[in-house]
């Protein structure tokens, strides 16, 4: 099952800032997003549920110290008019930045 990725404005803004600072991260981010859309719980991503103020969200690794915070949401599929699970990308950054 492939998940549709929905990028929040915060995710897009932070990604642009990160890539401007370090363009070499682009390949890691792209690869992680592909894996995330195919299987958000792939062991390579080290996906884990968050607690506290991040209750209801998940985090995955996009490199050594890079994390993506996301939520699994249900939206209406425009083609089938049936509910479908999608991934809402909340933010991206180093461990210290996102937590």
Instruction: Please write the tens of the pLDDT for every residue from 24-53.
Output: 999 999 999 999 999 999 999 999 999 999
Quickly state the pLDDT bin for 55 (edges 50, 70, 90). Answer: very high
Domains of the chain: 4-98 (3.30.2310.20)
Residue 1: pLDDT above 80? no
pLDDT of 82: 85
Q: Answer for the pair 67, 93: CB distance below 8 angstroms, yes or no.
A: yes
- Cα–Cα distance measured from residue 90 to residue 71, given in angstroms and rounded to the nearest whole number: 7
- pLDDT for 27: 95
Contact by Cβ (8 Å): 48, 34: no
Per-residue confidence (pLDDT) for residue 41, from 0 to 100: 95
Give the per-residue pLDDT at 96: 86
């Amino acid at each position: 099952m492939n998940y549709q990725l929905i990028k929040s404005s915060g995710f897009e803004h932070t990604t642009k800032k990160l890539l401007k600072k370090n363009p070499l991260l682009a390949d890691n981010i792209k690869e992680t997003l592909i894996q995330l859309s195919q299987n958000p719980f792939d062991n390579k991503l080290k996906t884990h549920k968050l607690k506290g103020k991040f209750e209801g969200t998940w985090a995955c690794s996009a490199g050594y110290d890079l994390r993506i915070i996301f939520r699994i949401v249900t939206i209406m599929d425009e083609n089938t008019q049936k509910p479908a699970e999608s991934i809402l990308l909340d933010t991206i950054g180093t461990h210290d930045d996102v937590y």
